[in-house]
Amino acid sequence: MNERLAQIRRIPRTFQPFLWSKNVGKMDRDRDKIYIVHQILSYGDLKELRQLFRIYDRKEAGEVFTKYPKRIYQPSVFYFVKNFILELRNRRLKEEDYVKALF
């Protein structure tokens, strides 16, 4: 595997604050994809989003987002990610599958 491909497959150390329940050095791009995509979409900033889209293209991240919903998003973050980051404006997704309950 060439060095550039290896870097793309490696999970950046800068993701560690957003992937707090695992050690990024031991994470696998494919095995941990659902966790990585949702955590970065929900908690990352623009820098992390750019890095995320170097690892997984926007289409792949969108597929994870729609096929494997996680209830970790604030309402405003859910709609921003859905409508603007992933450009899924025309997709009907159940808010209750993504938005965490606020008591």
The count of structural domains within the chain is: 1
Residue 88 has pLDDT above 80, yes or no: yes
In tens, the pLDDT along 33-65 reads 999 999 999 999 999 999 999 999 999 999 999
Mean pLDDT (the chain, rounded): 91
Q: What average pLDDT score do residues 57-75 get?
A: 97
CB 75 within 8 A of CB 99: yes
Does residue 103 form part of some domain? no
CA distance 66 to 45: 20
On whether residue 102 sits in a domain, the answer given is: no
Burial of 38: CB neighbours in 10 Å, binned 0-12, 13-18, 19+ = buried
Beta bridge partner(s), residue 73: 99
pTM: 0.88
Binned at pLDDT 50, 70 and 90, residue 91 comes out as very high
86 within 8 A of 58, measured Cβ to Cβ: yes
Residue 7 falls within a domain, yes or no? yes
For residue 52, being part of any structural domain is answered with yes
Its domain, for residue 67, covers 3-97
- Predicted local distance difference test score (pLDDT) of residue 101: 79
